Amino acid sequence: MPDIREIHAIVVGASAGGLYALKKLLPALPATFPCPILVVQHISPKSDNYLTKMLNELSELSVKEADEKEPILPGTVYIAPPDYHMLVESDFTLSFSMEEKVNYSRPSIDVLFETAADVYGPHLLGIILTGANADGAIGLLAVKKKGGYTIVQHPDDAESPSMPRAAINTAKPHKILALNEIIDFLLHMKYCR
What pLDDT is recorded for position 158?
97
What pLDDT is recorded for position 1?
47
Say if residues 108 and 133 touch (Cβ distance below 8 Å): no
Say if residues 83 and 91 touch (Cβ distance below 8 Å): no
Q: Which residues contact 91 (CB under 8 A, 6 or more apart)?
A: none
Tell me how far the alpha carbon of residue 53 is from its chain's centroid: 18
Say if residues 143 and 126 touch (Cβ distance below 8 Å): yes
Tell me: the pLDDT tens digits for 148-170? 999 999 999 999 999 999 999 99
The domain spans of the chain are 4-187
From first CA to last CA, the distance across the chain in angstroms is 19
What pLDDT is recorded for position 5?
60
User: Cα torsion at 38, 44, 45, 50 (round to 10°)?
Assistant: -60
Name all contacts of 70-74 with Cβ < 8 Å and 24+ positions apart.
70/94, 72/9, 72/36, 72/38, 73/36, 74/34, 74/35, 74/36, 74/192
Say if residues 178 and 154 touch (Cβ distance below 8 Å): yes
Q: pTM for this structure?
A: 0.94
What pLDDT is recorded for position 101?
66
* Residues in the chain where the model's pLDDT stays below 50: 1-2
Span 4-187 CATH architecture: 3-Layer(aba) Sandwich (3.40)
Distance between CA atoms of 79 and 66, rounded to whole angstroms? 6
Q: Which residues contact 70 (CB under 8 A, 6 or more apart)?
A: 78, 93, 94
* Catalytic positions: 15, 42, 135
What pLDDT is recorded for position 151?
98
